[in-house]
């Protein structure tokens, strides 16, 4: 009897070992894209907390370092960090990076000055306007193609706040940004009289997934993405992901509204 039990345990041991993930750690670059990402936000922002928790469940410890947008993605592409978060896949980036499944959806709109009117059916209809863009960010394949053909005229800045200030000052006409992020970044970083001049258009010109990007130079790149996708699916299926997203959004905004001492 005892011999049979012992043999049973010995048979199960390899299965138990295979089911336990070897501990890994990952160093990710992060960026400012409020309220999803932000060094001074609670939890580092909504997406940062979600990514950290998903990886934790896959036995992966996450460490973030914060950089301007363009540097964050370039460090990941060069392999100077293990990866980055808050990016959408495209053909160019996929040469250097593996992308996870969608963590959060991303709805891009055009910000403009209050009271002005820019009717359009396609982006090409806006060929006479001055667009601001942020170095390192991707604004859709269509936008890139129109920009390269000279149909869309762009002015590049190093960060989103600079572009929003240029928009308020009349130095550009339109600036593409995610609706919630653009409104919050405007409120927190511009003077009240500047912020009052800026509004988002109601209509999105592009919707895309936001993902975790892992450098192909990391020897565990495929394993990291596989673990992340596996645990992300589990959390979505159980409802835990949606619950954490909602509670984290509430906490982040509550902390922003709390007076600073």
DSSP string, 181-242: HHHHHHHHHS-HHHHTTEEEEEEEEEEEEEEEEEETTSTTHHHHHHHHHHHHHHHHHHTHHH
Note the pLDDT of residue 20.
83
Note the pLDDT of residue 34.
94
Note the pLDDT of residue 4.
47
Note the pLDDT of residue 161.
96
The closest of 216, 213, 206 to 228, measured between CA atoms, is 213
DSSP 80-126: SSSEEEEE---TTGGGTEEE-S-SEEEEEEEEEETT-----SSGGGG
Q: What are phi and psi of 200, to 5 degrees?
A: -85, 150
Mean pLDDT computed over every residue of the chain: 92
Span 210-239, pLDDT tens digits: 999 999 999 999 999 999 999 999 999 999
Other beta carbons within 10 angstroms of residue 15's beta carbon come to: 8
Give me the percent of the chain exceeding a pLDDT of 90: 89
Domains belonging to the chain, first-starting first, are 24-105+209-257 (3.40.190.10), 107-208 (3.40.190.10)
Residue that the structure tokens 């199960």 belong to: 12
Element (H, E) at 29: strand 24-30
Note the pLDDT of residue 259.
56
- Mean pLDDT for the stretch of residues 72-83: 98
Measured CA to CA, the distance from residue 85 to residue 214 in angstroms comes to: 9
Q: What are phi and psi of 98, to 5 degrees?
A: -100, 140
Q: Is the pLDDT of residue 2 over 50?
A: no
Measured CA to CA, the distance from residue 171 to residue 212 in angstroms comes to: 34
Span 15-65, pLDDT tens digits: 433 358 999 999 999 999 999 999 999 999 999 999 999 999 999 999 999
Span 153-178, pLDDT tens digits: 999 999 999 999 999 999 999 999 99
> Which of these ranges, 7-11, 51-55, 184-188, has the smallest mean pLDDT?
7-11
């Amino acid at each position: 009897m005892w011999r049979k039990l012992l043999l049973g345990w010995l048979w199960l041991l390899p299965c138990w070992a295979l089911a336990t993930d070897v501990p890994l750690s990952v160093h990710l670059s992060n960026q400012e894209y409020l309220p999803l990402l932000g060094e001074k936000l609670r939890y580092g922002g909504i997406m940062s907390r979600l990514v950290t928790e998903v990886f934790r469940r896959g036995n992966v410890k996450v460490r973030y370092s914060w950089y301007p947008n363009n540097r964050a993605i370039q460090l990941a592409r060069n392999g100077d960090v293990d990866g980055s978060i808050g990016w959408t896949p495209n053909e160019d980036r996929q040469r250097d990076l593996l992308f996870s499944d969608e963590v959060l959806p991303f709805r891009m709109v055009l910000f403009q000055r209050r009271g002005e009117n820019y009717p359009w059916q396609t982006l090409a209809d806006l060929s006479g306007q001055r667009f601001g863009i942020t170095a390192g960010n991707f604004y859709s394949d269509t936008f890139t193609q129109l920009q390269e053909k000279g149909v869309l005229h762009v002015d590049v800045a190093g960060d989103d706040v600079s572009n929003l200030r240029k928009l308020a000052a009349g130095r550009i006409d339109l600036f593409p940004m995610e609706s919630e992020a653009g409104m919050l970044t405007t409120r927190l970083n511009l003077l009240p009289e500047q912020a009052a001049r800026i509004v988002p258009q109601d209509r999105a010109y592009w919707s895309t997934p936001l993902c975790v990007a892992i450098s192909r130079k990391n020897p565990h790149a495929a394993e990291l993405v596989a673990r992340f996708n596996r645990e992300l699916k589990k959390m979505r299926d159980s409802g835990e992901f949606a619950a954490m997203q909602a509670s984290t959004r509430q906490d982040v905004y509550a902390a922003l509204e709390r007076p600073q001492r």
